[in-house]
């Protein structure tokens, strides 16, 4: 059958993607500009046998999501910067205990209450390092409404496949704008499920080191007795402080992400083949950057767009692949300098970096980026 074509907000498309991925549980505390996600899931989840819970706060929301996922249910929450801060403690718990879930953060101006109805990209580093401790993280970031649909499915897939929370960042522009989306009757993206135990209930180990880097996860309540703790744990899930066992756990947690970068990292490039000026941007800023690149090309300037879609882990290869070919690399983001520092680190001095940074609650305009291109051409 032909897909249904709809005009949807990014937040609504995120809900459609989550439902297509099989989400059955949402717990959250509404906050602008993410509220439509909670609102729509409250309506839709009961229709597919799922549950929606409005919790007393974001800390409890994250805890409820972890609990739901442990029973084998695909679970998610959605928030904005201030709520994302509150979720960080339990986000770390989910990373350490390897519980799949999706956390959406539709970014607005911050810190604190900030600019609740305006876009920003100030939580990029919070997504990477917001929770405490030494941890890997996966974060994806759509630049359009159709991509919000697809990436939500992929976020669930990555989370299930690697038994880890996945953060989906959006910004107010992507979350609130309406665009054409084609919703297929059956998702075109294959739906992944977490690895399941194949051993007897008595022999099950929730953190088995001999089953690859992503151990099978049994449903809590299905008769597999296992322990889940935020303390450093061994294969049984019970606490241990033995350095040798701690080392095994920490290194496996990092390895399961770092050894699979080819599968996890996504990016898009445009006009990069012969580009002399690269423009790197993500989320809605990449839309302005795409326009600036087209305008520059019209003036005969060889500019090209580099758009990370998986923003964490950092796509080093995207930078190293083009660094030596470029005369200059323009980095645009709606904050006063976060991702650009990572870009600079990855570029290792091979190409000068030009910063286009803006924090005023407005999407960076194409002419602002074009001006930067003109300055370095």
Partner 1 sequence: MVERHEVRLSGSGGQGMLLAGIILAEAAILADKNAVQSQSYGPEARGGASRSEVVISNTDIDYPKVTQPEIFMALTQEAYNKYHHDLGPNALLVVDESLSLTDDLPEKSRVVRVPIIESATETLKRPIVANIVALGVLVGASSIVEHEFIEKAVLNRVPRGTEELNRRALDLGFQLAAGAVGGNK
Q: Which residues bind partner 1 (CB under 8 A)?
A: 5, 7, 32-33, 116-117, 172-173, 176-180, 284, 287-288, 290-291, 294, 363, 365-366
Task: Identify the H or E element spanning 167.
Answer: strand 165-171
Residue 44 buriedness (CB in 10 A; 0-12 / 13-18 / 19+) = middle
Rg of the chain over all Cα atoms, to the nearest angstrom: 21
CB of 371 to partner 1, least distance (A): 14
Token pair 């756990």: residue? 249
Q: Please state the closest distance from residue 292 (CB atom) to partner 1, in A.
A: 9
Q: To the nearest whole angstrom, how small is the minimum distance from the Cβ of residue 286 to partner 1?
A: 9
Question: Which CB atom, from 172 or from 342, has the smaller least distance to partner 1?
Answer: 172
Rounded to a whole number of angstroms, the minimum distance from the CB of residue 7 to partner 1 is: 5
How many other CB atoms sit within 10 Å of the CB of residue 118?
19
CB of 161 to partner 1, least distance (A): 31
**Burial track 51-66 (b if 16+ CB lie within 10 A, e otherwise):** ebbebeebbbbbbbbb
3-state secondary structure of 156: helix
Q: Which is nearer to partner 1, 160 or 172 (CB)?
A: 172
- Nearest residue (CB) to partner 1, 195 versus 361: 361
Closest distance to partner 1 from the beta carbon of 374 (Å): 17
Query: Residue 132 or 180: which CB sits closer to partner 1?
Result: 180
Residue for token pair 């960042």: 169
When the beta carbons of 161 and 270 are compared against partner 1, the nearer one is 270
- Give the Cα separation of 369 and 364 in Å (integer): 8
- Closer residue to partner 1 in complex, CB, 228/290: 290
Contact 224, 196 (CB under 8 A): no
């Amino acid at each position: 059958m032909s897909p249904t074509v709809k005009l949807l907000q990014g937040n609504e498309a995120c809900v459609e993607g989550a439902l297509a991925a099989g989400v059955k549980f949402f717990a959250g505390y509404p906050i602008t500009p993410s509220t439509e996600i909670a609102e729509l899931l409250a309506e839709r989840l009961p229709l597919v046998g799922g549950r929606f819970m409005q919790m007393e706060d974001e800390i409890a929301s994250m805890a409820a999501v972890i609990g739901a996922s442990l029973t084998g249910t695909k679970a998610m929450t959605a928030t904005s910067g201030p709520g994302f801060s509150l979720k960080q403690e339990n986000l770390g718990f989910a990373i350490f205990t390897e519980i799949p879930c999706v956390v959406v953060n539709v970014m607005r101006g911050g810190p604190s209450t900030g600019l609740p109805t305006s876009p920003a990209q100030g939580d990029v580093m919070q997504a990477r390092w917001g929770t405490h401790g030494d941890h890997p993280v996966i974060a994806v970031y759509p630049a359009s409404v159709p991509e919000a649909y697809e990436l939500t499915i992929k976020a669930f897939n990555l989370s299930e496949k690697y038994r880890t929370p996945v953060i989906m960042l959006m910004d107010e522009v992507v979350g609130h704008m309406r665009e054409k989306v084609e919703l297929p009757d059956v998702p075109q993206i294959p739906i992944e499920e977490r690895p399941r135990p194949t051993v007897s209930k008595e022999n099950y180990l929730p953190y088995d080191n001999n089953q690859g880097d992503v151990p099978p996860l049994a449903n809590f309540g299905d008769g597999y007795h296992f322990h889940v703790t935020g303390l450093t744990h061994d294969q049984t899930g019970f606490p241990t402080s033995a350095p040798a066992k701690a080392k095994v756990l920490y290194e496996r947690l990092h390895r399961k992400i770092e050894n699979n970068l080819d599968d996890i990292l996504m990016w898009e490039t445009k006009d990069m083949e012969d580009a002399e000026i690269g423009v790197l941007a993500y989320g809605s800023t990449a839309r302005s950057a795409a326009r600036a690149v087209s305008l520059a090309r019209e003036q005969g300037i060889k500019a090209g767009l580099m758009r990370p879609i998986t923003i964490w882990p950092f796509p080093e290869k995207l930078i190293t692949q083009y660094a030596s070919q470029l005369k200059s690399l323009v980095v645009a983001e709606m904050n006063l300098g976060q991702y650009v520092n990572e870009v600079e680190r990855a570029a290792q001095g091979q190409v000068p970096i030009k910063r286009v940074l803006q924090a005023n609650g407005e999407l960076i305009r194409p002419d602002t980026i074009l001006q930067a291109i003109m300055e370095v051409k």
